[in-house]
Amino acid sequence: MEIESDLCVFFHMTYPGIHLHIRFCMVYYIWTKQYERADRIGRVTQEEYCMRLGIAASLPHETPEEWAKKHKDAGLGAVVFPCNADAPREWIERYRDAAWDNDLVIAEVGIWNNPLDRDPQKRKQNLDRCIAQLALADFVHANCCVNISGSTGALWDGGYAENYTRETFEEIVETVRYILDAVHPTHTEYSLEPMPYMLPDSPETYLELARAVDRPGFGFHMDAVNLLNSPRRYFGNREFVSHCFSLLGNRVKSCHLKDTRMEPSALTVTIRECVFGEGGFDMLHYIRTAEAVDPEMPMIIEHLPTYEAYDRAVAHIRMLTEADGKQ
């Protein structure tokens, strides 16, 4: 059973007469059927953790206040902001204030489009959204506003040889500057999520981009699993994570958290996300290394299909930290 976008639910719950109303009814039915599971996520207070644990999917809710309370009651300390820049300002303010009132760090505002789209009209639309979302992140004091650097091919997040050229590197630099110069954020930072098949593909490349962008509003977003794109990095992920944080340090504003597994006999190399605890990624080391940079680092669990799966993932993180003797 798939979890639909919480943003879709937000709009349909708030404006039940607009487009895709039928789809909303189906989504709301799915979510209410998982209501009890969703409320069980966490079962541990934020105070028991150092890092700020969160999930990429919002718990089902009808109001911003209910949204924040459910996340807090579930023992989560960080959230992904659940609406876009084109939502009514009153609702944006209510979500922001509800997060603050419940001691929830707004870890990130997502963009998730292709700033390098080869279609000029589509690219302009994407850049306009980047600017609007960054302004939203600044308004709600999110730790960061996150996107990918962009793809040079047909798939918005696809891997292509041109993704790695020097010309593309310079294009990314100019695009990031354009977005930052349009907003001049003071309460958030624009960041790029590392991806397996585009830039930045290493902490060194991330630093090179930061030096080239040369703007104070450019920060780092960490998804270490996305960077485990070779057997050497996969098997040496503990050392690789340490290396990433030693270079990027306290400029990392938020982290994504998941597990991954390399198929032992597949030809060619196959590395896939997997159920928490069934892969080869040292999540405890990832968490502790991030905490050493920022004791309240947001760690956002993502890409799980159901609330039950998120519940199991949070329980797994709790088990790891308890076994380590420090929550």
Contacts of residue 149, Cβ cutoff 8 Å, sequence gap at least 6: 115, 116, 172, 192, 195, 198, 199, 200, 209
Q: What was the pLDDT predicted at 327? A: 53
Contacts of residue 187, Cβ cutoff 8 Å, sequence gap at least 6: 137, 138, 139, 141, 142
Architecture of the domain whose range is 6-323: Alpha-Beta Barrel (3.20)
Q: What was the pLDDT predicted at 135? A: 98
Dmax (CA) for the chain in angstroms is 54
CA distance 99 to 92: 11
Q: Where are the domains of the chain?
A: 6-323
pLDDT digit string (tens) for the chain, length 327 residues: 334 333 333 333 333 333 333 232 333 332 333 333 334 344 444 444 478 999 999 999 999 999 999 999 998 999 999 999 999 999 999 999 999 999 999 999 999 999 999 999 999 999 999 999 999 999 999 999 999 999 999 999 999 999 999 999 999 999 999 999 999 999 999 999 999 999 999 999 999 999 999 999 999 999 999 999 999 999 999 999 999 999 999 999 999 999 999 998 888 999 999 999 999 999 999 999 999 999 999 999 999 999 899 989 999 998 998 888 755
